[in-house]
Every structure is written in C-alpha cells, then in structure tokens.
Chains A and B, each alone.
Chain A
Amino acid sequence: QNSTTLQPLESTIPDSDRFRDSKPLKLTCPSCQHFFPFGGIQSSNNYQITHSGIRCLSCQFVLPPLSVSAQLESFLRTQISQYYAGWLHCDDCGITTRQVSVYGRRCIGISGKAYGCKGIMRYLYSDKALYNQLLYLQSCFDVDKAKKRALKPLYEEFSGDVSADDKENKPSVMSQGELDALVEQNRSLFEVYQGVVDNYLEDCGRRYVDMGGIFGFMSAFEK
C-alpha cells in the first residue's frame, strides 16, 4: 500500500472488511478436544454462548474462563512471535527471507549479493496486520458490537475458515431478545478476556503516534 494515497480512516471500515485477513481464534474444548473457530456472541454450529459462558456443542461442556483466556493468550503470543520472526518479502523477484540488508528495503536478490534486483522488501507480517489481529481478537469479546451484530461473521460467503459443509448448514440467526440477554449475562466475563488482549494492545507501538517522527525536524532548534 502506498502511504501517499488517501485511504479511509481505518476505524470507519466495518469489521468484516477490516479483519478480512485476521486469523480466527480457535478454541479447543478441554473436555472432548473439539477444535472450533470462535467468533464472539453469534450463532455457530460448534459452540453456543450461554448465560454461563461458552458451551461446546459437541459435548455440552461449558469452557471454564481460565481455559478460554489461556488459549486466547497463547494464540496472541504465537502471533506476536510470528511477527518478530521478521519474514521479509520482495515485491519484484518474490523471494521470502529473514535476511535484512543494511539498507533495509533493498532486495538481497537470489544471488545473495544485494544488487541486481530492484524490488522493495517488506515485512510479510506487517505491524498493521498484527495490530488488526489484536483488534480483531478484542472485537470477538466486544459484547456491544455483538449486540449491534457488527462482528466479523463466522459464516461468510467466501470465508475459507469454515468447511463447505458448514457453509450449507448455516446456523439459524439468534433472536435479538436472546442476543440482548446473552450480552448482559456475559459482559463481565468477556471484559476479562478483553483485558487479556488490552494488555498487549497497550504495549503495541502502532497505537501511538510517534511525535518524535512527526516533529523530529524541530529538534534542530532545541540543540
């Protein structure tokens, strides 16, 4: 993406678009090992939100809060670690590597000699993608978004996360009354989960405007 072209403000984009590339949080039921994607308070064939938490539909076990938050945190940290693996991709010759040239964006090229290829290197897992991934996980536990039905849908037309079989058996949509009740019943529990994500969002540098970068030219006057 070219930073000079005008783009709509990120926060005005609906979640289904903004989180298009975000990976879904997948939970394992500790009781029956059923492994399923979790998308917040919405209807699913795999789990059901009850007044007491998330219930696995294959064995009717309600996932304990610690189980959910541990899996959430584990998933989050894998994403952060993957980001820090620092894979780079050249937009011209297409090589993927973790080597970094002393010029950063210069492609090392297939020859390994750092000249010849005019392509530009970029992080495969960008900080924007990671930031969106964190926001997506936070939105999964956002009860107010669930109430407005503004979550990224689990059963999208082109979503690759669900098998073809699941696409045909879309679960019936929750009634607003049921949704409203579940939202209030799960509010404090989901706030705990959100707190787990928030801890990392607080440390995420992308969230903060780098004043030094913008006003750096003024430092000349200070000296």
Chain B
Amino acid sequence: MTTTIETQIITRFGPKANETDILKKCGELMNIFGLSAEDLFLKWESYVITTSTVDNELQLSLPSLNKFQEFLQMKLIKSNQKTPSSNAKRPVMRTTPNMNIIPSTPMSSMKKRRLEAPGLRSADTSYTNGGDSSPVAPSPSATPSKQTESGKILETLNAHITPSNSISQAKLKLFANFNPQKYKFRTMNQKLLEVADYLDEQIDATAKVLLNHYKFEASDFGNPNVQSQTEILTVGRIVPDSPLTPYDADLNPNSLFLETSRSGGIGQRVQLNISSIENFSFFPGQIACFKGINSTGEFFKASKSYPIPYLGSPVSSLSDLNTYHQDLAGDNMKVVITSGPYTTQNDLSYDLLSRFVDKMNNEVRPNTLIMFGPFLDVTHPSIQSGNLSFDTDKTPTTLTEVFKFVITPILKRLTCQVILLPSTKDATSKHAAYPQDSFDRKHLGLPKNVKCFPNPATFQLNEVLIGCSNNDIFKDLKDVNGGQKMKQSRFDRVAEHVLEQRRYYPVFPGGLKQKKTKSLIAENDTGVLEHVSGADLHVPYMGLTEFNESLPDVLVIPSELKFFCKIIKNVLIINPGSFVKMNAPGSYCLMNLVPPKVEDLSKADDVDDVYLHNVWKRARVDIIKA
C-alpha cells in the first residue's frame, strides 16, 4: 500500500519529491485531510501560485509543506464557518477513488459493505432486513402462516353486541382532563425530601378519605407502633419487613410491615400480623386501613381491614348524550388501541405497522386510534449495539430523525383521529420519567389529526372517560394474598387495586428490569446485575398519576403480559397486548360502543338530570391479531 502511495506522489509531484521526509509528510497530509495524491497536488499547485512571489518561487520542501498544512487547516475552518447553521450537512469530502482504506463518507462505506462483503456482516440478518426491503414488498422475515392469521379475533367481551361495518368517519369530541403544562417539569433532580413529602402526604390524604367515608372519629386513630390496651384504627403504607428485600421478592403474610405517616406514628414501621384477616391482598406501596391492637409493643395485630371506597362513575347530562348520539348518526363509536413495541427484537422494520395503517384506513375505519409507545424502543438490541440502518430518502443521523424519516411518514397516512402516548422507553421522548411529558408533535412533523398526550392521561371521547397509563402495573404489582382473593385471577386483583388506590401506578418502589451479565472471569459464576430499565418514577410529581374525581369508564394499561379485557367494578379494563410480541405479530384492541340511548342508561341522580354511561354494558371489545 505504501509503495503505491509513494509512487503516486512521485508521479504527481515529480522526482523532486523522492525524499523520505517529503514523501512522509505528503502521505501524512493525505491521511489527515482525506485527499488523494492528485487532489493534494492540485491543492499544492494552487497554494504555490497564490503564495509565490516573482523572485522567490516556493520550493517543495519540508518547511513549505508545513506552511501548506496550515493553509489547508485555515481553509477547512473557513469552510466550516461559512455554513454554521447547516448542521445536517456534513462537510463534503472529495471522492477518493484511489484510496481504498478510507471511504469517502460513512454512508457510501455502508453501501459498499453491503454490496461487496456480505461476510463481514453480523450473523443476524437485521442489517439487510432493516434496509433493503422496500415497504411495499412483503417482509421475508414474517412467516406466512402467521400472516394469514392476521385479523383473527383472539378474545371478545360482550359478544352479543354486533360490531358495525359502516364507514362513518364522524369525529369524536375530545376533551383532555389534564393540564399539559404540569407535565413539563424538569427531570433528573429528584429531591429525597420531596419524595418523602409525597409519600407522607399519601397516607394522610387517604386517612382523611376513610375518616369521611366510614364516619370515624378522629380520636379512634392511634399509633400502631406503641403498646396499647385498646383497639385502634390506623392508616399506613404496606412495606416489606426488611430494607434489603429485593423489589421482586415473593413476600408472604409474615413479612409485611406497616409504615405510619409523620403525624400518625412519627414515620416508624411496625410488624403487621394479619392472621385474623380472611381475605386479603397486599402489596408494597399500598395504603391500607386497619383496626387492631399492639398489645406487646412487638407487632400490630390487625382484626379488620377497611377498604378504601371506590370513586364514583362519571355522568353526563341528557342534552350532551343526545348530541353525541346525533353526531354518530346512530352508528357505533369505534376506537382502536395499540401498544408498542411495533418492531420485532431482530430488526427495526415497520412493515407490520405500515400494513396495519392501511388496514385501518381501508377496512376498519375507526373514529379514533389510541397508540401507546414505545415506537422506537431505546432498549432495542439493534439500538444498543448501534447495528441499524434504514432505506429512506434522507439518512437519519439520530434516533429522533429515525422517528421523523421512518415512523412519521407511516403515521401521516392515517386518516382518523390519532392519540399518541409515549413510553419511558421511547427514544424520541426527552422526558425519561413517569409521569411523562407528551411527544413534541411539531418537532416530529406529525399532522394535526395526531394528538400527543402525556403519560398517564385521562381524557373524554364523547361521553366516555378513558384513563390511559403506559407503565406496566400488571407486571410490577406483586401481592401477598389469601382466602377468596387467592382464587381470583391476578389481573382482577391488580385492576381492583388500581381502582381502589385511585392511581395508575400504586406500587412503590417501582419495578426494575435487570439483566445478569456473566463476569469476565469464567470461574466466578455469580455475575453482575446490570440495569436495563425500570418504572422510572419521579415521585414528587406522582400526584399527576392519581384519578381526579371519578373512576374512568375505560381503563387502558398496556402490559407485556397476555392481552385481556374485563369488567371490574363496572370499569372496562383493557390490555391490548403488544403489537409485536418478541418476534411474531402480537395483538391490538377494537372497541365497538353502541351509541347512548336514554332508555338503556341509568339515572344517577334524581335532582339533576344526569346519567351513568354504562360503557361496560354497551361496549364490545375484540382483541385482534395484528
């Protein structure tokens, strides 16, 4: 290689250059500035012409080459300064056909690699699948048998209601029940004292609710930490008995403590004996109320637990309901719900999402489509290893640009009203904590029919109050249970807890995902726990995750676990399932809601003419294979 470069230099610069010093310097300059021998010579020529004077022509020598280097450097700085705003545009390098070691631009090197040296590629096929397959051509990675199943109904709730096949595209009225400004707090500055303030406030606020509901006397409440001879009432947080208990440990009825508030028992914790309570389900972070006695000073023996009363259901006035009925012209209201990830673990191809968008536009035609992140999962293996490429007109240089150039064009094709909720795993969101600020719609180039909502968000579609939270409580809530509660499905218990605790994510401390990496020393098999992701709770702002005044009609909390739809306390609970599950198409949810007819509704109040929505009676929910 070196000989060819040297001969190249000599052919350009002439025999004068045949000195080791000069050859070395020229080679160096070619390397530094990425020039071919010819380009270097041309630049040298122009330099000689501009700097030489009549009586003193510049000779090819080491000092003059050093000055030449300064000159090239100055030119480089100047060319950078001319275009300071064009960040996206990289300084254009001359093409260097002669030089095989240094490719002219990274992009061309990628292409070259793809064309010439398939052997250099990594073993998995993500490289080709992500880039080469055009969106129109069916992806070869998806197995045909799975494809034919697409559209199959996996589960149905209220099957007696017939889904509508009409294609009315009435726009639903959308009201946000949250203040988006409140989600714009700054992250990464969680103060321990503010966390503690919130945790303390939670206990006292719940105590007040219980006091009012059960008509307790304030004097009935006592400190469960101190010995006493009479039964007292107490409100506290369920905590594990040891600070060293791992977050995912399986607790048992003997390993629970009750934490008191500052005012209730100066924040101390006492062992909880629940042997006299028959049916129970407790989890760390739960606020619970007990009647009991601490007779020895060692433990608090609970004789009865008082559940937190459920919030009421939302109501609407007759005139509003009639308007909604007219808007839909008697048709069902159709809402489709999807949840990320939208790509397989092997590659970052959005073909399946693209086909889904076509299906929505041409076949299903929902009024509203609610989409949960992650759209671009920051923990995706291809992103972690940096092994990704896209076949688009503009080459993305950052993950935000990947969203703009790859995902936005797909979402843009949707004709219905769309609501996007981020995930804390979304690479595009700069607010990597829960509660989470919404996506920046304008920045991502999304059209106006796409609404970006924060996580969690409560909003109204016509009369239906929908609560959405994108933090996997169904996976993270692990309870200790007994009696009747044990026979219940776990999903039912978790959903009940969410409704009773009046917040979307009642577990504290939040879930954690760790991965065991084997230590480098082979004999030592203990391994190190490496952090992957978590619930990322920003506790001082967890007030934003509480239900406002009423239960939602529909509660949507996507989970990694299996899809389901069920009715708990007259609330429709939906987990649409992941759109792509590991490497196969997953599921999405279609809700058909019969328009409100006054005959079918129940009157909530005799004084005002308001009605319960009874969404759980009127909605047919299908979980459909993606």
Contact = CB atoms under 8 A, between A and B. Distances in A.
Interface of A: 27-28, 30-33, 50-53, 55, 59-71, 73-74, 77-78, 80-86, 88, 95-106, 108-110, 112-115, 121-123, 127, 130-131, 177-178, 180-182, 184-185, 187-189, 191-192, 195-196, 199-200, 202-206, 208
B196 A103 contact: yes
A177 B73 contact: yes
Interface string B226-265: 0000000000000111111001000000000101111000
Contacts of B241: 112
Contacts of B296: none
B388 interface: yes
Interface stretch (B165-173, B528-536, B594-602): B528-536
B104 A52 contact: yes
Given A104-B193, A110-B243, A122-B192, A74 B384 contact: yes
B389 A184 contact: no
Contacts of B103: 52, 62
Given A70-B386, A96-B244, 20 more contacts: A28-B386, A51-B34, A52-B105, A52-B109, A65-B397, A66-B398, A67-B386, A77-B427, A78-B532, A84-B536, A108-B269, A114-B268, A177-B73, A178-B32, A184-B77, A195-B398, A196-B398, A202-B430, A205-B189, A206-B188
Contacts of B247: 98
17 contacts: A28-B386, A52-B104, A65-B397, A66-B398, A66-B401, A70-B399, A80-B433, A84-B433, A101-B267, A109-B243, A113-B268, A185-B34, A195-B87, A203-B431, A204-B187, A205-B185, A205-B186
B80 interface: yes
A191 B87 contact: yes
Given A27-B386, A188-B80, A99 B240 contact: yes
B200 A102 contact: yes
Interface size grouping (class) on chain B: 35 or more
A113 B387 CA distance: 49
Interface of B: 28, 32-34, 66, 69-70, 72-73, 76-77, 80, 86-91, 93, 101-107, 109-110, 113, 120-122, 185-190, 192-193, 195-197, 199-200, 203, 225, 239-244, 247, 257, 259-262, 267-270, 378-379, 382-390, 395-402, 424-425, 427, 430-433, 508-509, 512, 531-539
A104 B192 contact: yes
Contacts, number: 270
A69 B397 contact: yes
A32 B188 contact: no
Contacts of B187: 80, 203-205
B571 to A, nearest CB: 29
A50 B102 contact: yes
Contacts of B244: 95-97, 110
A102 B80 contact: no
A52 B261 CA distance: 60
B516 to A, nearest CB: 15
A177 B203 CA distance: 65
B261 A102 contact: yes
Contacts of B121: 31
